[in-house]
Each structure stands twice: as structure tokens, then as C-alpha cells.
Amino acid sequence: MKPETLAIHSGNLFKASTNDVTSPINLSTTFLRNEEGGYSGGHIYSRVSNPNRSNLEKTLADLEHGEEACAFSSGNTAGMSLFQALKPGSHIIAPDDMYWGFKKQLMSIFASTLEFDFVDLTNLESLESFIKDNTALIWIETPSNPLLKVTDISAISAIAKKHNLVMACDSTFASPCLQNPIDLGADIVMHSSTKYIGGHSDVLGGILITAKIDDLWEAIRNIQQIGGAVPSPFDCFLLLRSIKTLPYRMRGHSENGMALAIFLEQHQQVEAVYYPGLVSHPQHEIAKKQMSSFGGMMSILVKGGAQEARKVVNTVKIFAQATSLGGVESLIEHRASVEGPDTKTPQNLIRISVGLEHIDDLIEDINQALS
Ligand SMILES: *Cc1c(COP(=O)(O)O)cnc(C)c1O
């Protein structure tokens, strides 16, 4: 089935006795045993599994063409669970512009148990020189945050396979509707479901989807169930409700994103626009090959420095000045000041999450703020 159909129908594994058309919210933390001591309802205790989480995991596994999914209470926990599942002493290759929350995680929580190198993954030649005997994982993120760099998923997965390494892809900026890394050879796909999957800036969550069930996946499942950083049944219900409109929302985000990027690229006050849909984007050809459209995330460099960039984010009226992304409302932020003093993000960079408002209103708003 196509994504639009899967998004609506995959997550209806459990039907209530009242014949509801959609699954109800099951808040029970524990489930009845039968006379033989078994669990005929398929669930034991809601940290281990519950109907709403199973619905959510099934839907995301289907949308990403994977075998199974594990849902977590945040995107950061999803990534952390994969890092935790690696053998201590393992080496990870990750992008130099890795999502800063993960970079921080590796450098603080995993500083003494894992080794890592942050490398430019758009340079395939140099990648192999970083592979060591204890390398276990190549982590990619595409498009990346906040520079919207695009990494060639098939090319990296071929290198990972050649060296017997796991390849995982943070696909948050693309959502399961714009690219499917498992089809291109990824072993594991990660999303912050706080972003496009949730889509309404009102629920936190993370997801891992696996291409196959193997020892690493069993370890991740164990961390999910025994560690217990799981989303509540209500969070799962909200995410599943959101997913039903995800394919259509992504069309709107992509359409608005493309139009705004084209407008900004020719604006006198704008020095550069980073958007994978633009022909001027350095990896546009790779983006075209692996994405069906280009989403609503972009960064721009305004002429001037931090002061000029801050003026723009303070002058817009429709865009909300806030971090995060992927919601129906457009967000704008001066990224360097969020990331702190040791950031490499340019001081005149503004990150934009284009929402689903009318494009004419968005263009008028940003135009008055830039002028
Ligand atoms: C937000 C984000 C995360 C972390 O997800 P949380 O839900 O905030 O924990 C990871 N990767 C990317 C690309 C993100 O944008």
C-alpha cells in the first residue's frame, strides 16, 4: 500500500468490543492473565508493551519499510538507546554537523564508554580512513541540522556493508514520507517524532525502525522495555492521530518550503539559502535521487552578523521565534545563540521551519522583516 493508505490504516491493530473505527486510548498499566497464567490480550504490563504503542510502532515500521519499530519518550532517548546497545569501547563515525543534542550526548554521557569521530560525510573518500577495528556504527543525518547538508544514503550504506558496520540514519528532517533510508541500505532509521511525525508542537517522542531483527535490535528492544523511557499511551495516540495526515502535511511543507526558498534566494538582504530543493544546493543531485520532495526546513544567511539576524527573528509577526521544527506553525530562530558559545554555526544564520500557513502571508512577513 501507498503511504497515504498506510498512515491511516496501519495503526488499527486492536479493536475495542464497541467496534470503534479508530483505536481507543488504553490507559491500563496492567493486563489480565487467563487461567493458565497466559496473556490472551497480547500485553502484560504497559512499560513492556501496550496497545497504543504497538499501533504506533507498527505504523512507523510500515511507513519506513522496516521490520519493527521501537517508540521512545523523545528523539534523544531513541538515539541514546542505540548508542547504549553498542558494546562498550565501540567506535562511532558521526557527521561533523550531527544534531547538537546527540553530539552533546556522546561527548558527555558516552565520553568514557564509546569512541567517536565527527567527520564530513559528504566527503566519501575520507570516510573510509576513519574506520578502525572497533568501529561499529556509521551514524548519518540527512538533511542535516542546521546546514541542510545532504548525505548520500546508498553510498554510505555500501561502505558500511563492505566493512560490516551498522548504518543508522537520523531522518527527522525528511519524515518517513520524503525518504526511506532502509530502501537505500540503512540498517536503522531514527526520527524525533516531536517534529514532523507529531507535527503540531504538542508531543515529545522518538522512534527507531529496523530493517531486520538481529542481536543489536534485541538489545535495543531490551533497553526500551527494561530501561523504560517509553511514550505514554496518550502520547502514542496523539502521534498516531498526527500520522494520518503526515503525507498531506509533508506535501504542504514541501510546497511552501520550495516557494519560500526561491523567494529568499533572490532577496537582496540574503547572502545564502540552504535548501536541498534549490539547484544551487551543493548536494541537490543527491537530494533529488533519494528524496521525493524537500520538506519545510531551510537555513539562510542574512547580510551582516548576529545583530542583523536577530533583528529579522525579532521583527517577523507570523513566524514564531522558537526552537524545534516540523509543526503546522512556522518557526524561526537564530541558531548560534541556541547552541551556545562553542557552536560552529555562523552568527548570521537563521533556521526556518516552514509551516502550513498560506505562502503569500509567509513571504510578505519575512520580506517586511528583512527590509
Ligand atoms: C529534535 C531532533 C532530535 C532530538 O529529538 P527530541 O525529540 O528533541 O529529543 C534529533 N535529531 C534531530 C535531527 C532533531 O531535529
pLDDT at 14 over 80: no
Q: Are residues 128 and 141 in the same domain?
A: yes
- Percent of the chain residues topping a pLDDT of 70: 99
Q: Are residues 228 and 123 in the same domain?
A: yes
Q: Are residues 328 and 264 in the same domain?
A: yes
Sheet with 297-302, side-by-side order of all strands: 270-274, 297-302, 349-353, 331-334, 320-321
Q: Are residues 223 and 267 in the same domain?
A: no
For residue 163, count CB atoms less than 10 angstroms from its CB and return exposed for 0-12, middle for 13-18, buried for 19 or more: exposed
pLDDT at 201 over 80: yes
What is the rounded distance in angstroms from the CA atom of residue 170 to the CA atom of residue 143?
A: 9
Higher pLDDT, 250 or 342: 250
Question: Is 41 domain-assigned?
Answer: no
| Catalytic site includes residue 45 | no
* pLDDT value for 270: 98
Q: Are residues 97 and 234 in the same domain?
A: yes
Helix (H) or strand (E) holding 263: helix 246-265
CB-CB contact of 191 with 172 (8 Å): yes
Q: Are residues 58 and 204 in the same domain?
A: yes
CA-to-CA dists, residue 137 to 61, 100, 153, 179, 213, angstroms: 21, 18, 14, 21, 17
Q: What is the mean pLDDT of the chain?
A: 96
Q: Are residues 159 and 271 in the same domain?
A: no
Per-residue model confidence as pLDDT tens digits over 258-280: 999 999 999 999 999 999 999 99
pLDDT tier at 12, thresholds 50, 70, 90:
confident
Question: Is 43 domain-assigned?
Answer: no
Per-residue model confidence as pLDDT tens digits over 38-62: 998 899 999 999 999 999 999 999 9
Ligand 1, atom 15: closest residue by C-alpha: 172
Question: Is 224 domain-assigned?
Answer: yes
Give me the mean pLDDT over the 213-224 stretch.
98
What is the rounded distance in angstroms from the CA atom of residue 27 to the CA atom of residue 5?
A: 27
Question: Where is the domain boundary, 243, 276, 310?
Answer: 243
Sheet with 206-210, side-by-side order of all strands: 68-72, 206-210, 188-192, 166-170, 135-141, 91-95, 115-119
Q: Are residues 226 and 107 in the same domain?
A: yes
* pLDDT value for 151: 98
- The range of the structural domain enclosing residue 314 comes to 246-370
Residues touching ligand 1 (Cβ under 6 Å) are 74-76, 99, 101, 141, 145, 170, 172-173, 192, 194-195, 204, 206
What cell was used for 135? 568501529
| Phi, psi at 187, each rounded to 5° | -85, -35
Give me the mean pLDDT over the 87-113 stretch.
96
* CA-CA-CA-CA dihedral for 257, 259, 262, 264, to nearest 10: -70
Question: Is 44 domain-assigned?
Answer: no
pLDDT at 292 over 90: yes
What is the chain's alpha carbon radius of gyration, rounded to the nearest angstrom?
21
Question: Is 264 domain-assigned?
Answer: yes
| Catalytic site includes residue 274 | no
| Catalytic site includes residue 195 | yes
* pLDDT value for 343: 82
Question: Is 7 domain-assigned?
Answer: no
Q: Are residues 160 and 221 in the same domain?
A: yes
pLDDT at 339 over 90: no
Give me the mean pLDDT over the 60-86 stretch.
98
Q: Looking at 99, 196, 274, 275, which residue is catalytic?
A: 99
* pLDDT value for 342: 80
Pocket residue to mutate for ligand 1, from 99, 190, 331, most atoms within 8 A of Cβ: 99
CATH number of the domain within which 119 lies:
3.40.640.10
CATH number of the domain within which 299 lies:
3.90.1150.10
Pocket residue to mutate for ligand 1, from 140, 190, 194, 353, most atoms within 8 A of Cβ: 194
Question: Where is the domain boundary, 181, 216, 243?
Answer: 243
Going by their DSSP bridges, the two strands 91-95 and 349-353 should be labelled as: unpaired
Give me the mean pLDDT over the 28-35 stretch.
94
Per-residue model confidence as pLDDT tens digits over 305-316: 999 999 999 999
Q: Are residues 187 and 306 in the same domain?
A: no
What is the rounded distance in angstroms from the CA atom of residue 203 to the CA atom of residue 326?
A: 12
Going by their DSSP bridges, the two strands 188-192 and 166-170 should be labelled as: parallel
pLDDT at 13 over 80: no
Residue type at 331 in one-letter notation: L
CA-to-CA dists, residue 180 to 62, 174, 370, angstroms: 11, 9, 36
* CA-CA-CA-CA dihedral for 254, 209, 156, 178, to nearest 10: -10
What is the rounded distance in angstroms from the CA atom of residue 291 to the CA atom of residue 300?
A: 21
* pLDDT value for 19: 85
Question: Is 42 domain-assigned?
Answer: no
Q: Are residues 225 and 255 in the same domain?
A: no
Q: Are residues 83 and 229 in the same domain?
A: yes
Question: Where is the domain boundary, 243, 262, 297?
Answer: 243
C-alpha of 54 from chain center: 20
Q: How many domains does the chain have?
A: 2
pLDDT at 16 over 90: no
Give me the mean pLDDT over the 94-99 stretch.
94
For residue 131, count CB atoms less than 10 angstroms from its CB and return exposed for 0-12, middle for 13-18, buried for 19 or more: middle
Give me the mean pLDDT over the 222-234 stretch.
98
Per-residue model confidence as pLDDT tens digits over 110-149: 999 999 999 999 999 899 999 999 999 999 999 998 899 9
| Catalytic site includes residue 103 | no
Question: Is 3 domain-assigned?
Answer: no
